[in-house]
Amino acid sequence: MEPDRNLEKEDVLMMMGACPERVRDYVSGLDENRMAYRHGPAFQTLGELVVHVSATGSAADAALRHACLDGATEVDARAALEPPIDSPESVTPAPERLEHLGRIRRRPMDLPRGLTAAD
């Protein structure tokens, strides 16, 4: 018997809701030198990766709010998954980005709970 590979809505919501806290748990004890660690020349630093995860999460939340609150029938998923890269001068530190994502993530998490299967 093959296992069911379809995620239920509550499973997806649980993962989305846990992401900011889990990432924050992973990096909370790291100093600036460790956040600047780069595994290789082609890899992002850990801090850059955290900023990317936070920016992507914020963009996905905005797309979700646009669909649920504005009634949009189409959203730009690519823009949510590939947010624009900030200039180095304007980058908010990774811990602050995670804190912001954790705050804004709580609001859109309730939106999909009200959607029907057809929605």
Least confident of 20-29, 47-56, 101-110: 101-110
- Sequence-ordered strand ranges (E) for 14-108: none
What's the mean pLDDT in 98-117?
73
Q: Give the tokens for residue 43.
A: 């890899």
- Cα–chain center distance at 58: 6
User: Which among 8, 111, 9, 106 is positioned nearest to 58, based on CA atoms?
Assistant: 106
Banded model confidence at residue 48, pLDDT cuts 50, 70, 90: confident
Q: How far apart are CA 51 and CA 88, in angstroms?
A: 11
Q: How far apart are CA 24 and CA 96, in angstroms?
A: 10
How much is the mean pLDDT over the chain? Answer: 76
- pLDDT at residue 58 greater than cutoff 70: yes
